[in-house]
Amino acid sequence: MTVDPYDFLLRGGHVVDPATGLDGIADVAIRDGRIAAVQKDLPGTARETVDVRGRLVLPGMIDTHAHIYTYVSGRFGLPADMVGVESGVTTLVDQGGASCMTFPGFRKFIAEPAQSRVLSFISAYVVGGLEGHFYPGLYGPHGVDVAATVKTVGANRDLVRGIKVHAEVGGITRWGLDVLRLAAEIGRETDLPVYMHFGQMWALPEGSNGVDPDGILPAVIELMRPGDILAHPFTRHPGGFVDRHGKLHPVVATALARGLKVDVGHGSHFSFKMARLALAAGVLPDTLGADMHGYNTRMTPPPGTPAAHPDPEEAHPFAGAARFSLCYAMTELLALGLTLKQIVPMVTTNAASMLGLKDEIGTLKPGAVADVSVLADDRGRFRLGDNEGTEVIADRMLTPLFCLRAGRRHDAAAPILPEVVAA
């Protein structure tokens, strides 16, 4: 009996699939946009065969923290495919760009045209992901419409997978926990996880003494449910997991024990120092969002965007000189002592579970969508750096080569990918 050839065949790569437990040399075959078979020395032919010996072959990587609502979110919004398939990433979760007011545009102009799979954690704020450091007064409880947001979620369940809100010093100084209580209400009514940003984001109100940043995390955790997500555990800004004395808040362990999740939310916030403290205290993130946007990628801003921020740098944490990507963030975690076995689930199985899509994506099991990421795994001495000026020498560098999104190939040629710097 003649067997039809596969559409695509990846030969001899190091396949790592936490969902199936595979960690070794194998071939991956694709037919009709689905995974057809995964095994060593797979018999058969394909219309296109690629030799990936010496490469890592992973389930299509999932970036759980993207900013891709171009133009509507000002300088934050990056082109979806530049952050997605052109960076070796097959699924993007836009964090808070779209709102109940702007979601139709997000669907029509961002999600539907993208070659990457685009999902959303919808903003709790009516204005969505505007450049809030310019307009902090819009982000109070008066800017949250629970009923409208719940209605929008109900009409867009295929794209909306959670709720985004900010637990940060400037906002809580202005309005206390009112906004966060409203976001928690949206989460309960929609039965979706709430993604909570920690670490300072907005300038303090003029003439304000602010609030104690170390009191924010314990207070906010009390509002959260199992499955809700604590973001930015490695932030360099006040109001995060690590207090002013360099100690992990003791409530973190309790929160994780009762089912709260942790997303790296790398961004310009990432600090090697804070990462070492949190990891040493037992915080292993569940997911690894990159948090790339127009303030940390040197992209030309959309026309009409303010040219400069009026406040001092410490009140504007989005800007960053250290370039990164999702793969680069994985490299940083390797350099911090985590293993590939610990890191790969953060961008595959764990991320798919957070999105309620574990049977469709984040795995290479036969029948799953043929989303595959192929990475170079180079050994040597490589210089890494963060926005605090900390430099780390890594002996391993992961870089994206190409991905398959539903069986269609996309090369990793995004101009925002960081250069590899030899030490």
Q: Dihedrals φ, ψ of 415, to 5°? A: -70, -15
pLDDT at 311 (0 to 100): 54
133 versus 39: the higher-pLDDT residue is 39
The domain segmentation of the chain, as residue ranges, is 6-59+364-411, 61-354
Paired tokens of 255: 């929160």
**Does the predicted TM-score (pTM) go above 0.85?**
yes
pLDDT at 14 over 50: yes
Q: Which CATH number among 2.60.120.10, 2.30.40.10, 3.40.50.1460, 1.20.140.10 corresponds to the domain 6-59+364-411?
A: 2.30.40.10
Q: Find out if CATH 3.20.20.140 is the number for domain 61-354.
A: yes
The number of beta carbons lying within 10 Å of the beta carbon of residue 157 is 11
Q: Any idea which residue has 């509002």 for tokens?
A: 223
Q: Dihedrals φ, ψ of 170, to 5°? A: -65, -40
Q: What is the mean pLDDT of residues 140-159?
A: 97
Q: Are 244 and 200 in contact (CB under 8 A)?
A: no
Model confidence over 173-206: pLDDT tens digits? 999 999 999 999 999 999 999 999 999 888 788 8
274 versus 75: the higher-pLDDT residue is 274
Q: How far apart are the first and last CA of the chain?
A: 56
pLDDT at 366 over 70: yes
pLDDT at 380 over 90: yes
Rounded CA separation 136/311 (Å): 12
Model confidence over 251-305: pLDDT tens digits? 999 999 999 999 999 999 999 999 999 999 999 999 999 999 988 887 777 677 6
pLDDT at 40 (0 to 100): 95
In the structure, what pLDDT confidence band is assigned to residue 313 with cuts at 50, 70 and 90? very low
pLDDT at 392 (0 to 100): 96
pLDDT at 314 over 60: no
pLDDT at 309 over 70: no
pLDDT at 208 over 90: no
* Share above pLDDT 90 across residues of the chain, in percent, rounded to a whole number: 82
Rounded CA separation 316/203 (Å): 7
Model confidence over 136-146: pLDDT tens digits? 888 999 999 99
Rounded CA separation 208/14 (Å): 55
pLDDT at 299 (0 to 100): 73
pLDDT at 132 over 80: no
Model confidence over 87-130: pLDDT tens digits? 999 999 999 999 999 999 999 999 999 999 999 999 999 999 88
Alpha-helical segments (H) within 295-380: 326-335, 340-343, 349-354
Q: Are 216 and 169 in contact (CB under 8 A)?
A: yes
pLDDT at 306 (0 to 100): 65
pLDDT at 238 over 50: yes
Give 3-state DSSP helix, strand, coil % of the chain, rounded to 5: 25, 30, 45
Q: Any idea which residue has 């007064």 for tokens?
A: 137
Closest CA to 414 of 31, 33, 63: 63
pLDDT at 312 over 90: no
Mean pLDDT of the chain: 93
The number of beta carbons lying within 10 Å of the beta carbon of residue 32 is 11
- For the ranges 21-25, 243-247, 307-311, the lowest mean pLDDT is seen at 307-311
- For the ranges 26-35, 91-100, 116-125, 317-326, the lowest mean pLDDT is seen at 317-326
